[in-house]
A and B are shown apart, each in its own frame.
Chain A
Amino acid sequence: MVETKSIIELRADFPILSREINGKPLVYFDNGASAQKPNLVIDRVSKYYQFENSNIHRGVHTLSQEATSAYEEARRKIQKYINSPLEEEVIFTKGTTDGINLVANGFSRGVLQKGDEIIISEMEHHSNIVPWQMACEYTGAILKVAPINDDGELILSAFKELLNSKTKLVAITHVSNTLGTINPVKEIVELAHQNGTPVLLDGAQSVPHMKVDMQDLNCDFYALSGHKMFGPTGVGILYGKKEWLDKLPPYQGGGDMIKTVTFEKTTYNDLPHKFEAGTPNIAGGIGLGAAVEYLEGIDWKAIHIHESELLAYATEQIQEIEGIRLIGTAKDKAGVLSFVHDKAHHYDLGTIMDQLGVAIRTGHHCTEPLMHRFKVTGTARASFAFYNTKEEVDLFIAALKRALNMLL
């Protein structure tokens, strides 16, 4: 483990972690759903509303200019953090879902033709399934699903076989929200590119656990959510290679995304504004910039070791409980522990554990096809962040045992 002190120091940056729930210290193991926010982010959002609030990109007055620079400065911070070559390749969105919909919408209007194919995988979140189903419905393209094995790993040979001259896009998750599987995305991008196919990566679950590098991954699109990477809710990023973003038509029409408007003909603004119609989530964008600043100060190597040890410890402890079956046993996993019990329902477990101060997620995790694949109606899921500790895993295991005691 990383020296306990450094994790404790990190925890102190997150005020919510010292809350009590039902009279017990909060054990927050629902980071996969949304991560907590450090003071740096909270204070930055508060500062914006207290001293800088105004609309961006149009005002001549001082406040507007200050807000605009803060917002654009946040874009540059994020660009640097994800190592995107160009600033205009970083589009502010509402979140991962919004980013994927932007690309799916663009592909539906000009790229996809009847009979074309899109490849996704069996472990996708609904937000990386449904937009493509809608695109297929609209264009007559066909959705192909790459299978996974019983450990929850993508079967790469089967994925390769799906690639052909009709494949117009591969849309795949970097890290599975339900299984924790880390997909071999660099290999996937290489294989797809050899086939002349662009790749969109769903980065919602990767960014809380690792630093991602757009130039290293070489993907064509990368969608992520601010709130899962310790930033505000309702803001996210779509990274797209300029050549692709130039090719796609605008997603929404409105203010800020235009150059000139007449009733006869409107010309669109340059990137990134072409995809940012209307007043954006300014406080959210600035807050996400602060989150990235916070993450820049983190020793990711040490965090990786800490999170791996936490997951290994929790996995070992939970397997000692009779009747537990893990869903998602990939060799390469981020901090997610999904499980079912042969006699206790995940909903019952989550409800009792909440009374004991332990927050976990239960249900299908917006991955219904994956639930069918594993023949379960849902799972209980503990998902970790770098601020979680081994002591919290002990409290989680104790709460799980108590719940089972009550239920069985």
Chain B
Amino acid sequence: MNIDEVAEELIEDFDLFDDWADKYEYIISLGKDLPGMSEADKTEEHIVKGCQSQVWLKAKQDGDKVIFEADSDAIITKGIIALLVKVFNGQNSKDIVNNNLAFIDQIGLKEHLSPNRSNGLVAMVQKMKTYALVFSNNK
């Protein structure tokens, strides 16, 4: 599936929830299901700055594709980054760079996850895009 198809699935999932608690419970479960990173990888290089909780993001190149690993010490934050990993993992680096992030609004999380909530959503996406940009120039 490409980025838009994965995003579309997520949008449909979120459409099923009619209250905030269901949405958060889903995000929390995404966070719990995301395999963490090894302590050795939780380095300054991988840290996402601008979050109130600690977030780490690592990426490796696999041909045209980007493989992400992420972790956070807060479970909601980990759920948010898990959501982003779900969308971008294994995708073409150029597609990641060019994605307009419309799915974040469509999921209906904008009111909860706007940049001023210090959850670092913007910083996370920026770091993912930076990895993708480096890899796409790296071939």
A residues apposed to B, CB below 8 Å: 22, 344-348, 351-352, 355, 362-363, 377-378, 406-407
Contact = CB atoms under 8 A, between A and B. Distances in A.
Nearest to B113: A351
Interface in B69-113: 73-77
Contacts of B20: 22, 355
Given A362-B52, A363-B52, A378-B52, A347 B76 contact: yes
A345 B75 contact: yes
B39 to A, nearest CB: 15
Contacts of A378: 52
A406 B21 contact: yes
A129 to B, nearest CB: 20
B53 interface: yes
Contact of B28 (A362, A363, A407): A407
22 contacts: A22-B20, A345-B75, A345-B77, A347-B52, A347-B53, A347-B74, A347-B119, A351-B24, A351-B76, A351-B117, A352-B24, A352-B76, A355-B20, A355-B24, A363-B52, A363-B118, A377-B53, A377-B54, A406-B24, A406-B25, A407-B75, A407-B76
Given A355-B20, A355-B21, A406-B21, A345 B28 contact: no
Interface string B26-56: 0010000000000000000000000011100
A329 to B, nearest CB: 24
A355 B74 CA distance: 17
A407 B53 CA distance: 15
Contacts of B24: 351-352, 355, 406
Contacts of A406: 21, 24-25, 28
B89 to A, nearest CB: 23
Contacts of A22: 20
A345 B53 contact: yes
Contact of B73 (A351, A362, A377, A407): A377
B52 A348 contact: no
A362 B21 CA distance: 20
B76 A348 contact: yes
B67 to A, nearest CB: 26
A322 to B, nearest CB: 18
Contacts of A351: 24, 76, 117, 119
B87 to A, nearest CB: 21
Point out which of A347, A355, A377, A407 has the most chain B C-beta atoms below 10 A from its C-beta. Answer: A347
Q: Which 5 A-B pairs have the closest CB atoms?
A: A345-B74, A347-B74, A347-B53, A348-B76, A347-B52
